Chains A and B, each alone.
Chain A
């Protein structure tokens, strides 16, 4: 069994940002296969997928809709089982031969596409919910920690509002803070900004990066938006259409911290050129398949 170094990162990402502790949350996906249904009448969603998610970095998986990328996220989170292959978390087997399904846990938190805040609880109650439910802290402790984390993320002042009273962009940020309450090793985001318009999205990206720079949690981010992927990621994995497997893996050496000006730099455009053709190709395949099914 090969081991993965506990501390991996592309050189440029370290520049200018202090990293006092060894980072956790590195994931290694090795030869993973996922088939829904039976051998003959099933759907192959993931086909011998292998790639690394370095600890303390943002890895973005890009691919057309329905290609199987959510399946990978669900496997890491422990919601779905594998058909074969292995997934390692910080060099330990998370799921694999003999244990095809990981247990969901507070070390791997998912932020979903559609908002999942409880509308009947205030924002701070929502944020504190996880630790209280899991009995990790008393209510008082949890609320205090929630207050701190929210202030850290620039969300002071809305603690006692209800999710319905704030804009969707701010809601998304509350959800991310909630996810960070249990100090997870890895944050799993499944197209969290899909529903937002382009301009709000760009503000959200910067907010996510702010949170990332403060917490250095490993982030596994799924999207179909290539520009979003290159803007956010240290590493971008481009997937084929279903069944998915990495088509191209890029290490984005644009230095952090990044802001919207990055979008018009030469290096960014070079990355877009390099990847656009590949992504477009897969997308057209998916588009044609989708139209035919109707």
Chain B
């Protein structure tokens, strides 16, 4: 990428970062909202592991409950039943060890890029010269050094995402959680951001939990893919992606192995997406019926 320097950051950061991060275990977790007849179950008896130092991608139809799982892991909400543990310790609330990069930008609009990035350290009274140096190197790393004094509204979509990554990374979280961070970007920016992020991950190699609806994105980034069912969600399949790192887009598109993974994932996802679509209305259900008839005729 022309706009970003590839200087290794680890040498400049204040202290040796924890090389691999934490392990998150989600165990028989269910989550419902509302009570009585209005109760809506969003997550149903879901269990999975987010492995230490690996990039785990969760993919499922939109509205299936992925964002709820993120909130449970981040500690913004508690599960209705089941446990979420980080390094065998149960999650009791939000913490700097689990930071979320949201789908739509959550940069503080009233702060400049630099102030946004320095938010965490200042909140914890860690505004030291070393920390400021680390912020500088991160700004360089994400290619926003020239935009440090700009407000989020003055940055393009791709730049906002990069600023948010920097804002999270300066806190060296043990678990990075990303909730469809590239959704809404146009296809080109998305692709460039994916490449960019893959490089970033390669360099920092900490536990990452990445949620998406885009199968190509999932295969490109993941060490493991969790395929989720429709709402109420649980894991339908786990697919290991053994493609070598660093990942190159050209290699992925040409790789037969990647294509096989895509075929397998697509058939499951398509089924779940159709179910999700059918829930929308009777019209949608009719469409599914007609579609499945046509498919079975083949």
Q: Which residues of A contact B (CB under 8 A)?
A: 64-65, 150, 154-158, 161, 166-167, 169-170, 173, 194-195, 197-200, 202-203, 206-207, 210, 224-227, 257, 259-261, 263-264, 269, 272-273, 276, 279-280, 283-284, 286-288, 290-291, 294
Contact = CB atoms under 8 A, between A and B. Distances in A.
A161 B280 CA distance: 12
A185 to B, nearest CB: 26
Interface stretch (B26-34, B120-128, B281-289): B281-289
Contact of A166 (B212, B216, B253, B280): B280
Contacts of A269: 253-254, 259
A286 B282 contact: no
B39 interface: no
Given A264-B259, A264-B266, A291-B156, A206 B62 contact: no
Contacts of B254: 269, 273
B277 interface: yes
A176 B283 CA distance: 14
Interface of B: 2-3, 61-62, 147, 154-156, 158-159, 180, 183-184, 186-189, 191-192, 212-216, 253-254, 259, 262-263, 266-267, 269-270, 272-274, 276-277, 280-284, 286-287, 290-291, 294-295
Contacts of B212: 198
20 contacts: A65-B186, A154-B283, A156-B282, A161-B281, A169-B277, A198-B215, A199-B61, A199-B62, A200-B273, A200-B277, A203-B274, A207-B287, A259-B295, A261-B267, A264-B262, A264-B266, A269-B253, A284-B192, A291-B156, A291-B158
Contacts of B3: 288, 291
A221 to B, nearest CB: 14
What are the nearest 7 A-B pairs in CB distance? A283-B188, A157-B282, A154-B287, A167-B280, A197-B213, A199-B273, A198-B214
A146 B59 CA distance: 37
Contacts of B183: 197
A170 B213 contact: no
Contacts of A291: 3, 156, 158-159
